[in-house]
Amino acid sequence: MPNDYLKIGDVADLLTTTVRTIRYYEEEGLIEPYRTGGATRLYSTQHIARLKAIMHLAENGFSLDVIRLIGTTRNTCSTGDEGSEKVSNIIESAIKNIEDQMNNLKLLKAELKAADRQVKKCAGCQNEPSSQGCPDCPINRNLGKIEVLNLIWE
């Protein structure tokens, strides 16, 4: 009987996810599809757009708790003004988290690049890897500068 609406299996295929995941989002109060008389879930294009947004955030590390907050706050407000401020606050805090993450990743990336350059210096070496380094090996002398090397060089 679904003509304009999609059933859960089709939605799962469309969004390349699983039926279970979509049901789980419903269990968690993130989305509420329509139902046929027989309790089969039906999803409108709006439902699907909402699911896309949920998945997009989830794939970028947002917890379902935060996603739920984003998705429900506006409806719990009595005026557009109130909703505007509350939702804006949530979004801006999310943006700040993302910026922090990006900064951390940027630093880590630089460190990994530096580590990679050091590691590559062992190319061609026929000695056994050791934590002491070979007698005349200069590499292990500045492990401390590049934190992650302390992990690699045992």
Partner DNA sequence: TCACTATCTCACGTAAACGTTAGATAGTCA
Partner DNA sequence: TGACTATCTAACGTTTACGTGAGATAGTGA
- Residues found in the chain: 154
Nearer to DNA, 26 or 140 (CB): 26
Q: Should residue 33 be labelled a site residue for a copy of itself when binding is judged by CB under 8 A?
A: no
Give, as ranges, the residues between 3 and 62 that touch DNA (CB under 7 A): 7-10, 18-21, 23-24, 28, 36-41, 58
Cα Rg for the chain, rounded, in angstroms? 25
Token pair listed for 74: 């506006």
**Which element (helix H / strand E) includes 41?**
strand 41-43
Rounded Cα distance, 27 and 36, in Å: 18
Contact 140, 131 (CB under 8 A): yes
40 binds, among a copy of itself, DNA, none (CB under 5 to 8 A by kind): DNA
Q: x/- string (CB under 8 A) for a copy of itself, residues 93-112?
A: -xx--xx-xx-xxx-xx--x
Residues lying near DNA in the complex (CB under 7 A) are found at 1-2, 7-10, 18-21, 23-24, 28, 36-41, 58, 63-65
